[in-house]
Amino acid sequence: MRRWGYRHVITPMVESTSVLDLGLGAEQRRRLFKFTDSGGDVVALVGERTVPVARMVAGKLRSTALPVRLCYAGPVLSADAGRFHQRRETYQVGAELVGARGTVADAEVIALAARCLEAAGLRRFQVDVGHAEFFHGIMDAVKLPDAVKAGVRSALAARDFVALEDLLSRTALRSAEHELLLRFPALRGGPEILDAAAGLVRNRRSEWALNELGRVRHLLEAHGLGDIVRLDLGAIRDFDYYTGIIFEGYGPDLGRPVAQGGRYDGLLAKFGRPAAATGFVVQLDLVWEMLSRGARPPTLPRLDAAIAWTEPGFEAALRLGSTLRLFGMNAVVDTQSRDHDDALAWCRAIGGANLVHCRNASTVSWTVPGRRTKQLPPEQVAARLAGTGR
């Protein structure tokens, strides 16, 4: 995210419910852990971090010129145990592009999300892209009571098609409208789905959404992501503040999105600084779960040097460890004295690429497991390991 120009910010874990109420719908507020602080005010543990970022941009960063690119990381909690797959807490990394309208900004955020999944180690995933206004246009056209619209939205968000059919059967919708809502979740695929959907809708709101989706699809191809993008006109996000392009990233054999986001142009105005915005989060717990299922499970970071010692070489071992770290290498200094054979077994056990055994202040042995051991002065070992000497 930093390589794309996003500045890291830290948002609070606890927010006033009056702040969260501005950005969250009734269902999202219900999921919050709430408690009373020592002053008698009701506060809550955050269930997402987009609202705290919006408050920050409208408050502490009010004088910052727009557009501004921000990123963050931290846990979020939910009182609904099923929200995070039978867990109350998950860890998210997210990015927000505030103050930028249009499809170029939408495509940037989706492309960044995809590159973040790649950077996390995922090699097989797809990104489903939809548009919140496509659904809203349909809801405006069918003229249902608000309570029924809410039920339709909930059923679609859960992809509960049995509940959707039951709900629609009790309405006065004409056959064409009824069929449209039943077909709505199946409107998924490539660019051809835009033409198919255009033949089903007759309202400007949905037609505009289809035009925007077509432009975003073209821009994502320019980002080199055409092969992993699928259009999903049946996508319904579970937060009320989304107003435009929305998307979710899925990995193989995992029914839940590992990344999700979209445009929320109305949120900043609630905090006194109207601005367009779009962003996303990556669920790191789910990324780890996917990596662990792979043919090559994740391993610990490469350990460049395992530094062992005997009593006369202890201080040399500490100095060598510090030197290698200054060169950007990962180096571990042992916590106990060992002979060479024991040190080599320890090096293999912790995955060290090199064993450096400091026997005294002037001479150390350098071993690459499986190769011949060399006897060298400490400074030569440091230079060779760091690639600055021969």
Using an 8 Å Cβ cutoff, are 18 and 32 in contact?
A: no
Longest dimension (CA), the chain: 91
What does the pLDDT read at residue 85?
Answer: 63
Domain ranges of the chain: 1-123+255-298, 126-250, 305-385
**pLDDT 10s digits, 350-371:** 989 999 999 998 889 999 877 8
pLDDT digits (tens, 9 = 90+) for 21-43: 888 888 788 888 899 988 888 99
- The C-alpha atoms of residue 279 and residue 336 are separated, in whole angstroms, by 49
pLDDT at 91: 92
CA distance 319 to 360: 12
pLDDT of residue 149: 78
How do 89-98 and 277-283 pair as beta strands? antiparallel
pLDDT score for 300 = 62
pLDDT at 328 over 50: yes
Burial environment of residue 75 by CB neighbours within 10 A (0 to 12, 13 to 18, 19 or more) = middle
Question: Does residue 330 have a pLDDT over 70?
Answer: yes
What integer is the mean pLDDT of 327-342?
94
Is pLDDT at 329 greater than 70 in this prediction? yes
Residue with structure tokens 């193989």? 252
SS (H, E, C) the chain: CHHHCCEECCCCCEEEHHHHHHHCCHHHHHCCEEEECCCCCEEEECCCCHHHHHHHHHCCCCCCCCCEEEEEEEEEECCCCCCCCCCCEEEEEEEEEECCCCHHHHHHHHHHHHHHHHHCCCCCCEEEEEEHHHHHHHHHHHCCCHHHHHHHHHHHHCCCHHHHHHHHHCCCCCHHHHHHHHHHHHCEECCHHHHHHHCCCCCHHHHHHHHHHHHHHHHHHHCCCCCCEEEECCCCCCCCCCCCEEEEEECCCCCCCCEEEEECCCCHHHHCCCCCEEEEEEEHHHHHHHHHHCCCCCCCCCECEEEEECHHHHHHHHHHHHHHHHCCCCEEECCCCCCHHHHHHHHHHHCECCEEEECCCCCEEEECCCCCCEEECHHHHHHHHCCCCC
d(CA 283, CA 260): 9
> What confidence score (pLDDT) does residue 238 get?
61
Predicted pLDDT of residue 295: 64
Residue 184 has pLDDT above 80, yes or no: no
**Mean pLDDT of all residues in 288-297:** 76
Question: What is the spatial distance between Cα 58 and Cα 15, in angstroms, rounded to a whole number?
Answer: 15
pLDDT for 390: 37
Domain 305-385 fold: Rossmann fold (3.40.50)
Give residue 389's pLDDT band: very low, low, confident or very high (50, 70, 90).
very low
Q: Is the pLDDT of residue 388 over 60?
A: no
**C-beta of residue 358 within 8 angstroms of C-beta of residue 316:** yes
Q: Answer whether 1-123+255-298 and 126-250 agree in fold.
A: yes
* pLDDT band, very low/low/confident/very high, at 19 (cuts 50, 70, 90): confident
Summarize the confidence of residues 234-257 as an average pLDDT.
Answer: 81
Higher-confidence residue of 44 and 143: namely: 44
pLDDT digits (tens, 9 = 90+) for 1-16: 999 999 999 999 999 9
Is the CATH code 3.30.930.10 the one for domain 126-250?
yes
CATH classification of 1-123+255-298, choosing from 3.30.70.980, 3.90.550.10, 3.30.930.10, 1.10.10.10?
3.30.930.10
Chain segment 46-91, per-residue pLDDT in tens: 988 999 999 999 999 999 999 999 999 999 998 876 666 667 888 9
| Interval 215-243: pLDDT, tens | 999 999 999 999 999 999 877 766 678 88
Backbone angles phi, psi at 184, to 5 degrees: -50, -50
> What percent of the chain is modeled with pLDDT above 70?
92
The confidence band for 92, taking pLDDT boundaries of 50, 70 and 90, is very high
Report which residue type is found at 211: N
Closest CA to 256 of 109, 132, 90, 111: 90
| Residue-averaged pLDDT of the chain | 87
292 φ, ψ to 5°? -65, -25
